Amino acid sequence: MRGSSRLVLTAVSVAIGILLAIQIRSAGELTSTVPDLRTSEMRVMLMEAMRHNQVLQEDLEALRQKVREYERTVTQGVGALGLLRTELDRARLLAGITPVRGPGLVVTLSDSKKPAVQGDDPRLFVIHDEDILKLINVLRAAGAEALSINGERLLATTEIHCAGPTVSINNMRIAPPFVVSAIGNAAAMESSLRMRGGIVEVLGYFGMEVTITQHNALEIQGYTRPLRFEWAKPIEGR
């Protein structure tokens, strides 16, 4: 081997060695550490947040219990305070923060299980926020007094809004199947749902699965998270 060739080959060898080492290190980082670390980190954060949430929820429940206790002791007896208490209970019932029981319906909506046909718009075969809105509207028209969707109590401020593959209700993401509970006149509500050209028929046309069951003593949970009114303030003296 001549001198110059030896020199060139050695120099190139060193360069390739450096590059190879960098490549090996980069590839190692790429495949193993980065995404794993990220996901496990996120998982820990999520668990932490959920635990925190749980604790706060329990605190809230305890505080509520205390408030109820105070009310009971303060308003014991009759007269003006007793009246005030009945008024308060009525307001709570209207606001939807008390759990309620009564006769009613449970309506379950599931996405279509029809096999997809080429050329059909797949959006026609899933439950949309608008379908739920229509259903809720029909139930209310038939006299539903308390409503919940997958355990989320419907309030005056509740939104039923499309959120990607899910539906946002009370700012919670709800995924199908949607279980709508309604307390009211069960027979009236069921017949307005099953009306000719009504919502059950329309949804059934697209293969959506709608089941309706009547219950004698249906329970609907109250809304448990804090209610905040940031913008609307009551006008004094009215």
Residues of the shown chain interacting with other proteins in the complex, contacts defined by CB under 8 A: 1-2, 4-6, 8-23, 25-27, 29-30, 34
Chain centre to alpha carbon of residue 56: 18
| Nearer of residues 38 and 51 to other proteins, judged by Cβ | 38
Cβ proximity to other proteins: between 23 and 171 the closer is: 23
Beta strand 209-220 pairing with 152-153: unpaired
Q: How far is the CB of 27 from other proteins (least distance, A)?
A: 6
Nearest distance, CB of residue 35 and other proteins, angstroms: 10
Q: Which is nearer to other proteins, 6 or 90 (CB)?
A: 6
> CB of residue 40 vs other proteins: minimum separation in angstroms?
19
Judge contact between 193 and 212, C-beta under 8 A: yes
Q: SS in 3 state form for the chain?
A: CCHHHHHHHHHHHHHHHHHHHHHHHHHHHHHHHHHHHHHHHHHHHHHHHHHHHHHHHHHHHHHHHHHHHHHHHHCCCCCHHHHHHHHHHHHHHHHCCCCEEEEEEEEEEECCCCCCCCCCCHHHHCCCHHHHHHHHHHHHHCCCCEEEECCEECCCCCCEEEECCEEEECCEEECCCEEEEEECCHHHHHHHHCCCCCHHHHHHHCCCEEEEEEEEEEEECCCCCCCCCCCCCCCCCC
**Residue 13 or 214 having the CB closest to other proteins:** 13
For the bound state, the minimum distance from the C-beta of residue 38 to other proteins, rounded and expressed in Å, comes to 13
As a whole number of angstroms, the distance between CA 141 and CA 120 comes to: 33
Nearer to other proteins, 8 or 47 (CB): 8
Report in angstroms how near the CB of residue 20 gets to other proteins at its nearest. Answer: 6
User: Could you tell me the smallest distance in angstroms from the CB atom of residue 39 to other proteins?
Assistant: 16
In the complex, least distance from residue 44 CB atom to other proteins, rounded to whole angstroms: 24
Q: Quick one: 16 or 49, whose CB is closer to other proteins? A: 16
The span from the CA of 63 to the CA of 61, in Å, is 5
